[in-house]
Copies of this chain bind each other. A is one copy, B any other.
Amino acid sequence: MYAESFAKLITELQKLPGIGPKSAQRLAFHLLGTSRKSIDELAAAMVLVKERMRYCSVCYNITDIDPCAVCADTSRDDGLLCVVAEPKDLVAIERSGVYNGKYHVLGGVISPLDGIEPESLRIKELINRLKQETISELVLAINPTTEGEATSFYLTRLIKPLGVKLTRIAFGLPVGADMDYADPATLSKSLEGRREVV
């Protein structure tokens, strides 16, 4: 129905995650209506990311310099290592501004149904770091989803025998939440994680 080049763009846009036929059509019309300059900028940004970005050889965060800015930062506590699933989790923790240690990015969570086995993640590399670096505390910061919990459990069994102090970030009521509206699983985590008032 559409001209060939327009239909081709809709097809390409539909390959993106979360973009269905209607969104793809809307995006295509938007792109048609924007300036050639904006299009070139977007196209260039996509190509540049593919050319420049790689994984940090130390922590496996995405970066355009190796080692990444976090690993190269000498003001950070080398003894504190935080394990996250994805680069975006690292960014979320950095945004909170309270963590001053280093990171290790697994590259996902164990999910056999999606074909992600422990061997597909940077777990071997994590164990190597634990053996080579002097880590005083390893903080597991993996989402409390089914796959995330399974991954945390797998890592706990693997790391505990190495004698490293192992902690997990707290799960419970989010700030500003109403207990009455919290799901039972969150409330149960919140009770489990209760602390003595001092």
Residue from B1, B4, B46 in contact with A43 in the complex, judged by beta carbons closer than 8 Å: B46
Tell whether, in the assembled complex, residue A62 and residue B23 are in contact, meaning their CB atoms are under 8 Å apart: no
A178 CB within 8 Å of chain B:
no
A198 CB within 8 Å of chain B:
no
Tell whether, in the assembled complex, residue B27 and residue A17 are in contact, meaning their CB atoms are under 8 Å apart: yes
A18 CB within 8 Å of chain B:
yes
Q: Describe A's contact surface by its main secondary structure.
A: helix
A169 CB within 8 Å of chain B:
no
Query: In chain A between 10 and 39, which residues have their CB closer than 8 angstroms to a CB of chain B?
Result: 11-13, 15-18, 23, 25-32, 36, 38-39
A42/B38 contact (C-beta < 8 A), A5-B64, A16-B30, A53-B3 known: no
Tell whether, in the assembled complex, residue B42 and residue A1 are in contact, meaning their CB atoms are under 8 Å apart: no
A48 CB within 8 Å of chain B:
yes
A45 CB within 8 Å of chain B:
yes
Tell whether, in the assembled complex, residue B26 and residue A64 are in contact, meaning their CB atoms are under 8 Å apart: no
Tell whether, in the assembled complex, residue A50 and residue B30 are in contact, meaning their CB atoms are under 8 Å apart: no
Residue from B8, B13, B31 in contact with A50 in the complex, judged by beta carbons closer than 8 Å: B31
Residue from B26, B31, B87 in contact with A46 in the complex, judged by beta carbons closer than 8 Å: B31
Q: How far is the CA of A69 from the CA of B46 in the complex (A)?
A: 33
Q: Which of A88-96, A129-137, A153-161 contacts B (4 or more CB under 8 A)?
A: A88-96
A53/B5 contact (C-beta < 8 A), A39-B47, A47-B43 known: yes
CB distance from A33 to the nearest CB of B (A): 10
A62/B31 contact (C-beta < 8 A), A17-B26, A50-B36, A94-B1 known: no
